């Protein structure tokens, strides 16, 4: 993939995240990358194509990252979920625009592209559920999916706040997600807890 394409996709994702797909014109995207309007058709077939490539790229990255983690965790199954949480937090902190666009604009996609993105998203949720369910046998399959989606909502809250540094945010989000999904495994640190 040519660097121009990547630049356009990244810039468009930022604009879509800030103003919504229908709130951004081709002229806006072109101006943001230093060319003007119709030049974008040399790289993409249409505005919908730009959005589609954004979402396909984002869902691909998330799913591939999660699957990359799985072989390592077979020996210590309890750590798989931990790794998924940390990886997702990294992705959300590094690509807030992709996170926002992915959860906001999937309805603006054509049926075919939407199906492809949906497939990746469902597969991603499945990876999480496979990691969660052995640790939470009290949850039904549907409950596990809902819990995973809720954890995504927590981790994806990054774009709405981020007043503390990236490292602190990462630590906060991962610890909260861990507690939300595996509440009984939390150990109180040595420092002053809330009971005092």
Partner DNA sequence: TCCGCTGGTTAATGATCGTTAACCCCTGTG
Partner DNA sequence: CACAGGGGTTAACGATCATTAACCAGCGGA
Binding site for DNA (CB under 7 A): 2, 4, 24-28, 30, 35-39, 41-43, 46-48
Q: Is 11 in the site for a second copy (CB under 8 A)?
A: no
Q: Tell me how far, at minimum, the Cβ of 6 lies from DNA, in Å.
A: 12
Beta-carbon contacts of residue 142 (< 8 Å; ≥ 6 apart)? none
Which does residue 182 bind out of DNA, a second copy, none, counting CB within 5 to 8 angstroms by kind?
a second copy
As measured in angstroms, the least distance from the Cβ of 30 to DNA is 6
Pairwise CA distance, residues 87 & 189, whole Å: 23
Residue with tokens 């999937």: 106
How many other C-beta atoms can be found within 10 angstroms of the C-beta atom of residue 44? 19
| CA 98/CA 10 separation, integer angstroms | 9
Q: Which of 52, 49, 10, 56 is nearest to 29 (CA)?
A: 10
Residue with smaller CB distance to DNA, 53 or 156:
53
Total residue length of the chain: 196
Beta carbon of residue 15, minimum distance to DNA (angstroms, whole number): 10
Interface contacts to a second copy, rule CB under 8 A:
18-23, 103-105, 107-108, 135-138, 140, 142-143, 145-147, 149-157, 160-164, 168-169, 172-173, 175-177, 179-186, 188, 191-195
């Amino acid at each position: 993939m040519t660097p121009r394409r990547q630049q356009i996709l990244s810039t468009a994702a930022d604009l879509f995240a800030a103003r919504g797909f229908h709130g951004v014109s081709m002229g806006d995207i072109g101006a943001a990358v230093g060319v003007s309007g119709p030049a974008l058709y040399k790289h993409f077939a249409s505005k919908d194509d730009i959005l589609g490539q954004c979402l396909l790229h984002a869902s691909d990255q998330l799913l591939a990252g999660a699957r990359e983690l799985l072989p390592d965790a077979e020996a210590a199954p309890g750590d798989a979920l931990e790794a998924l949480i940390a990886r997702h937090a990294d992705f959300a902190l590094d690509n807030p625009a992709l996170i926002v666009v992915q959860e906001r604009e999937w309805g603006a996609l054509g049926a075919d592209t939407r199906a492809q993105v949906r497939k990746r998203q469902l597969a991603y949720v499945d990876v999480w559920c496979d990691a969660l369910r052995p640790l939470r046998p009290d949850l039904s399959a549907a409950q596990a999916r809902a819990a995973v989606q809720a954890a995504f909502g927590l981790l994806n809250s990054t774009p709405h706040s981020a007043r503390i540094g990236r490292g602190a945010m990462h630590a906060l989000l991962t610890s909260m997600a861990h507690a939300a999904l595996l509440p009984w495994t939390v150990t109180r640190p040595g420092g002053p807890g809330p009971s005092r």
